[in-house]
Structure 1
Amino acid sequence: MAPHKLNCWEFMNCGREPGGVLAAVEGVCPVPKWFKLDGANDGIAAGRACWMVVDNGCHRHGRACHTCQFYRRVVFEQEEACHVFSSCED
């Protein structure tokens, strides 16, 4: 059995996933609700493609995805596969 691959809210421990400790205060992050990317990079919803979701937690705080440790982890774990998903439009 393959090991569980972490979704961004698990890795970042942000608490903004549905039912998370900060969801009621800061709102639920759009990433765990973005099911258009369910299964991308072996994640739940956009949990392993969070950089594809407009207004994700990092974008709101002005952070660049390419410098994020989680992004780098997904790239490492998925090798070239994660580059298939370069943008997401409604």
Structure 2
Amino acid sequence: MMKKNCWEFKRCGREGGRPEDEFRICPAVYNVALDGAHDGMCGGRACWTVKGTFCNGVVHGTFEQKFKDCSTCDFYEYVKEQEGDELLPTFILLEKLEGLEQ
């Protein structure tokens, strides 16, 4: 089964495509702390934990500010369905991010 990263699923272009010129490269693309999470590249399969992502025309802030929207996102549901019991708990993903910031 092909596992897509958020930018492939959403086709936002912020992985270095055309919209990137206007909005910059998405932080999920270069967030190495989450590399490999759910078999994704950088934060591409855990974007709901990455602050500053751009989705549905809006730049999202911190996890606390964005998770309500992310928890109903079609990509989040896609990852949950693919990962099943192997889905990493969000607190584990957040701990990985905190480790990078220290």
After TM superposition, the score normalised by the length of structure 2 is: 0.75
Indicate conservation of the 8 Å contact 2:28/2:53, yes or no. yes
Which of 62, 66, 70 is residue 75 of structure 2 equivalent to? 70
Q: Which residue of 2 aligns with 1:25?
A: 22
Indicate conservation of the 8 Å contact 2:6/2:44, yes or no. yes
Q: Which residue of 1 aligns with 2:39?
A: 42
Shift of 1:26: 1.2
Structure 1: tracts of 5 or more residues without a match: none
Deviation sequence 1:4-58 (CA, Å, 0-9, x none): 200000000000103x111111111100100110000010001000011011113
After TM superposition, the score normalised by the length of structure 1 is: 0.84
Structure 2: tracts of 5 or more residues without a match: 61-65
Aligned CA RMSD, in angstroms, stands at: 1.8
Q: Displaced runs of 4+ in structure 1, greater than 3 A?
A: none
Which of 14, 17, 20 is residue 16 of structure 1 equivalent to? 14
Query: Quick check: which one's helix share is greater?
Result: 2
Q: How many residues align?
A: 87
Q: 3-state SS of the aligned residue for 2:25? A: coil
